[in-house]
């Protein structure tokens, strides 16, 4: 038979586990404090970025242009609108043609 004796003179296994758990708890508390501090820093940085992005909005209060520059701007804008009007006219003509064809076909069927 095997005879094992337990040495009770030193700290028991339960006391050692209790000490180790207490150490782990203190380490976790330190890590939690560090994470909370980092979170506060990140939130502060995000707020700073949000504030600076609001401040970077552009507002034009006054435009000073000579008469010649203003005429040039309007002429260029008018010329730039010509291709857009051509495209919109083509689309409108196509829609008109399709709807006319559908309505004529419906009218022809109604009189048969």
Residue 29 has φ and ψ, to the nearest 5°, of -65, -40
Q: Is the pTM of this model over 0.85?
A: no
Same domain membership, residue 77 and residue 51: no
Residue-level pLDDT at 106: 84
Host domain of residue 31: 13-56
**Which conformational region is residue 3 in: left (phi greater than 0), alpha (psi within -120 to 50 degrees), or beta?**
beta
**Residues ≥6 apart with Cβ < 8 Å to 73:** 65
pLDDT higher than 90, residue 55? no
Per-residue pLDDT band for 49 (boundaries 50, 70, 90) equals: confident
In a shared domain, residues 51 and 27: yes
The span from the CA of 94 to the CA of 102, in Å, is: 12
The answer to whether residues 75 and 112 belong to one domain is yes
Residue 66 within a domain: no
Residue 6 domain flag? no
111, two tokens: 């009189």
Pair 79, 111 in one domain: yes
1 compared with 52, residue with greater pLDDT: 52
Flag whether 45 is in a domain: yes
pLDDT at position 10 is 64
Please count the structural domains in the chain.
2
Within this chain, do residues 48 and 75 fall inside the same structural domain, yes or no? no
77 and 105 in a single domain? The answer is yes
Kindly state the average pLDDT of the residues 18-32: 94
Tell me, yes or no, whether 78 and 107 share the same domain: yes
Tell whether 76 and 112 lie within a shared domain.
Answer: yes
Residues 52 and 83 in one domain: no
Q: Which residue has the higher pLDDT, 12 or 18?
A: 18
Judge if 24 and 50 occupy the same domain: yes
């Amino acid at each position: 038979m095997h005879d094992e004796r337990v040495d009770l003179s030193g700290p028991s296994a339960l006391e050692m586990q209790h000490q180790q758990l207490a150490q782990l708890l203190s380490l976790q508390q330190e890590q939690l404090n560090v994470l909370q501090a980092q979170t506060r820093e990140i939130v502060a940085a995000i707020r700073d970025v949000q504030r600076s992005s609001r401040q970077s909005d552009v507002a034009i209060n006054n435009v000073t242009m000579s008469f010649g520059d203003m005429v040039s701007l309007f002429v260029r804008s008018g010329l730039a609108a010509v291709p857009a009007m051509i495209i919109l006219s083509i689309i409108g003509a196509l829609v008109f043609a399709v709807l006319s064809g559908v309505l004529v076909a419906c009218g022809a069927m109604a009189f048969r």
